[in-house]
Amino acid sequence: MDGIHDLGGKEGFGPIPIDPTDEPFPNEWEGRMWGLAREQAVPGMTIDYFRHGLERMVPKDYLSFPYFGKWCANYYMLYLQTGVFTEEEILTGKTTRDPNAAPVAKTKDDIIAQNRASAVDFSLPIDDAPLHKVGDNVTTRAHMAARHTRLPAYARNATGRIIAHHGAHVMPDRNVEGHHVGEHLYTVEFAARDLFGESAAAKDTVTLDLWESYFV
C-alpha cells in the first residue's frame, strides 16, 4: 500500500536529528518496550505482518510517535486482533482472566544466548528457476496492488541492474496474506539519477533487495 511509512525520497524533512548523547535507550520505557517485543506472545506472528501492522497505524501517529511508541501501538493492535487481550483489558490495564503458568525469569546470559539463537533464515528454496541473472537489466512495476510490499514508491517504474541473486526468500507481499511461499530475491542497483533526476550525483547509486514479481 502507498502508506505513510513509504518515506524514501519524500521531500520536506529537515535536518537529521542526531543525538550526541547516544544511549541505547534514552528513555526507560523504550528499553521496556524492546524487551516486551523480544518476549512477545502474539500467536502466529510474522515479521511481515508486524511491519504491515505498523503501516496501518493512524498516519499522523506514524509520523509523530517515537519508534518504540509505534511498536507499542502495534502490539496493542496485534494482541487485540488475536484475542490475547480485550479492549476492556487494555483500557483498564487489568486482566481478570487467570494467568498462564508462571513464566521463566530469564537472566542476561539467557538473553544473550537467546539473541544468538534468534537469527532467522528467510531463504525458502523453490523449484522454479530464477528468471534473471546477475548483470541483467530489470524494470520495476509502476503500481503495486499488494496490501504490503517491499517495493518502495521511489523505486517503481525504474530500470536497474541485478548485482546479486540470493535464491528464493519468503515473499512478504504474500506472507502477510497468510501464504508462506518463496520467490527469487535479487539485489538491484539503480543509478541515483534514474530514481531522482539530475539533482543526484552522476556516480551515485541506490541498491534495493527486490523479489522477482516486483519486475515487469
Partner 1 sequence: MTQDSEDAARLHRNIHSHLPSDPALRVKTLESLMVERGLVAPESIDAWVEAYSEEIGPKRGASVVARAWVDPEFRSRLEADASEAIKDLGVDGNATAHLKALFNTPTQHHLVVCTLCSCYPWSILGMSPAWYKSAEYRARSVREPRKVLAEFGTDLPDDIAVTVWDSTAELRYLVIPERPAGTDEWSEDQLAAIVTRNAMIGTERDLVAEAS
Subset of 149-178 contacting partner 1 (CB under 8 A)? 150-152, 154-155, 166, 169-170, 172, 176-178
Q: Interface with partner 1 includes 216 (CB under 8 A)?
A: no
Distance of CA 96 to the CA centre of its chain: 34
Residue type, 37: A
Q: Pick from 2, 35, 134, 216: which binds partner 1 (CB under 8 A)?
A: 35
Phi, psi of 54, rounded to the nearest 5 degrees? -65, -35
Residue type, 145: A
Least CB distance from residue 53 to partner 1, whole Å? Answer: 5
Contact 124, 181 (CB under 8 A): yes
Q: Interface with partner 1 includes 132 (CB under 8 A)?
A: no
Which residues in the 52-81 window bind partner 1 by CB under 8 A? 52-54, 56-58, 61, 63, 65-69, 72-73, 75-78, 80-81
Alpha-carbon gap, residue 89 to 168, rounded angstroms: 42
Taking the least distance from each CB to partner 1, the nearer of 18 and 142 is 18
Q: Interface with partner 1 includes 137 (CB under 8 A)?
A: no
For the chain, counts of helices (H) and of strands (E): 8, 4
Taking the least distance from each CB to partner 1, the nearer of 115 and 137 is 115
Name the grid cell of 20.
550526541
Q: Quick count: other Cβ atoms within 10 Å of Cβ 71?
A: 20
Q: Pick from 22, 127, 129, 143: which binds partner 1 (CB under 8 A)?
A: 22
Q: How many residues interact with partner 1 (rule CB under 8 A)?
A: 124
Q: Three-state DSSP class for 140?
A: strand
Least CB distance from residue 130 to partner 1, whole Å? Answer: 15
Contact 148, 55 (CB under 8 A): yes
Q: Interface with partner 1 includes 184 (CB under 8 A)?
A: no
Contact 171, 213 (CB under 8 A): yes
Q: Interface with partner 1 includes 185 (CB under 8 A)?
A: yes
Encoded one letter per residue, x for contact with partner 1 by CB under 8 A and - for no contact, window 81-110 reads xx-xx-x-xxx-xxx-x-xxxxxxxxxx-x
- Torsion sign across C-alpha atoms 179, 184, 195, 10: positive
Q: Pick from 31, 132, 156, 165: which binds partner 1 (CB under 8 A)?
A: 31
Q: Interface with partner 1 includes 143 (CB under 8 A)?
A: no
